[in-house]
Chains A and B, each alone.
Chain A
């Protein structure tokens, strides 16, 4: 039960990829943070909400064979670092693709999927994963 408030608070960013942009240096962060780690004090009050487009490309990836019990049903699966069009990198699963078809630079887009469940009676968690875009 302990994680319910944390998951709930993070729903907007996990459902809609809401990050922040530092108006001082232009860097984009996801998940959102209160202060820019580059500009520090200069960024106070300048961190603006920014909804990511959901589009990006595979920056690097790995095939996960020994999955966490939550992902038992999905293994083997591709875990990737996705570089978003806005520049920020996000670690997530790549779905709707054969593992051998994944390549660096592959264009992907965010979709909503079930991320997990807290046992048989607990809350269900939803958020983004990435799937290939037709090129």
Chain B
């Protein structure tokens, strides 16, 4: 049975910092760094925001756009590498906050930046098999780079939620195909109890990001029997603005196709939120018949690729009841590095 998207929602914290300001503190030309990475500013969570509040806001935004009864949601999966608790699921709090509890299953996923798309695939299986009517897949993060590390210029916060159902429901987008490519690659990791991640430097590019994203994208197009020009919108994982543009070219896509799904230049890398926020941004403006290709990447490493077709339902759901991704990108307030350090717990406080 065909499965797809019934509704969607998104959330991006309002605070931002610019690369020039980060570079000023560390004695680096941050502006040049930002230009090289194609990241002009990144989102920062307030001290009272975390992966739980971001997930809840995205899920509520998703529920605003649908008539679906929250009690018919059979599962909620939240993918993140920054769950606030090591033990105590984010997903249970989301379930309570959208009134889907208690008759459902829930779990938190981890797979670097692709835990949210793994949640989509699990959801497809659960609704497609008839085990439940709806399942919710969320990708959200409030990631941190070590102070002074290159990642500090990009690691940002945000998330998106998708309500997954079958063709028996009014799907706004059908998922035609999905394909994953997974290998044991040590490009980026964080050991238990460590505050900041480590990465393999230049090793993160070719054998990790590009190999996985391009292989998954190309294999998916073979499965779907499609050509690059068949897609109206292409969303690729975006650790910075540069990588998805290069991977897109390698697969035969133009920057025009990437336009609506590429948010990192304006909000930074939202990790598990990245491609899902890109998809929400595309769904905000999508028209019936639009074909979408989405490829997530998670270090460690793997890529999940999806081929979707937007249906007539996209014009029937009340998209305006939620907040558009564009509105959230444009509504921001800048902070300096000292405030950023305070907000992100980088200042050692008295116990």
A sample of 20 inter-chain contacts (CB < 8 A) reads A15-B97, A16-B97, A73-B342, A74-B48, A95-B46, A111-B57, A112-B56, A112-B57, A112-B60, A112-B97, A113-B46, A114-B48, A114-B49, A114-B50, A114-B53, A124-B50, A124-B52, A124-B84, A126-B56, A129-B48
A119 and B268 CA atoms in complex are apart in Å by 30
Give the number of residue pairs across the A-B interface with Cβ within 8 Å.
48
Q: Chain B residues near A114: list those with CB within 8 A.
A: 47-50, 52-53
B133 located at the interface, meaning its Cβ lies under 8 Å from any Cβ of chain A in the complex: no
A15 and B60 CA atoms in complex are apart in Å by 11
Q: Chain A residues near B56: list those with CB within 8 A.
A: 15, 112, 126
Total interface residues on B, using CB and 8 Å?
21
A11 located at the interface, meaning its Cβ lies under 8 Å from any Cβ of chain B in the complex: yes
Q: Which of B14, B48, B96 gathers the greatest number of chain A CB atoms within 10 Å?
A: B48
Chain A 44-78 residues near chain B, CB threshold 8 A:
73-74
Partner of B96 from the list A12, A96, A124 (CB cut-off 8 Å) is: A12
Binding site for A on B (CB under 8 A): 14, 46-50, 52-53, 56-57, 60, 84-85, 93, 96-97, 99, 327, 333, 342-343
Q: Are B49 and A126 in contact (CB under 8 A)?
A: no
A25 located at the interface, meaning its Cβ lies under 8 Å from any Cβ of chain B in the complex: no
Residue on B with the closest CB to A134?
B327
A113 and B46 CA atoms in complex are apart in Å by 9
In the complex where A73-B47, A74-B48, A112-B56 touch, is A126 in contact with B14 (Cβ < 8 A)?
no
A120 and B96 CA atoms in complex are apart in Å by 24
Total interface residues on A, using CB and 8 Å?
18
In the complex where A73-B342, A73-B343, A126-B53 touch, is A113 in contact with B97 (Cβ < 8 A)?
no
Q: Are A113 and B99 in contact (CB under 8 A)?
A: no
Partner of B53 from the list A11, A12, A112, A134 (CB cut-off 8 Å) is: A112
A104 located at the interface, meaning its Cβ lies under 8 Å from any Cβ of chain B in the complex: no
